[in-house]
Amino acid sequence: LQIVADNRRKNVANFLRAHQLASQAQVLETQRYGEPWYFAVYGDFSSADQAAAAIKRLPAAVRDEGPFPRKVEKVRSSLVKSP
């Protein structure tokens, strides 16, 4: 699941800490309109139904951010490659 995104890594990290998800989520970097963009992914689910059920178990404030399932392939293809 992608649970939050922002143009500042610090904002994503603070959000995860505030909702006790920092140890359960991973912050990744991509590019959006040529600028760094950070997003947090949470969980590893074998089906869309499992991912949908996990969204329902997230805290309300996290659900309010609009988390959505993302396929691993899409996440990998969007990552910024290290030089």
Confidence of residue 70 (pLDDT cuts 50, 70, 90): confident
Average pLDDT score over residue span 57-71: 90
**Residues 6+ positions from 68 with CB-CB distance below 8 Å:** 1, 2, 55
Q: For residue 80, what is the DSSP state?
A: P
Whole-prediction pTM? 0.81
Q: Which pairs from 19-27 meet CB under 8 Å and 24+ separation? A: 19/59, 19/61, 19/62, 21/62
Res 26 pLDDT > 90 = yes
Residue 16 host element (H or E): helix 9-18
pLDDT value, residue 83: 47
Average pLDDT score over residue span 25-49: 91
7 alpha-carbon distance from chain centroid: 13
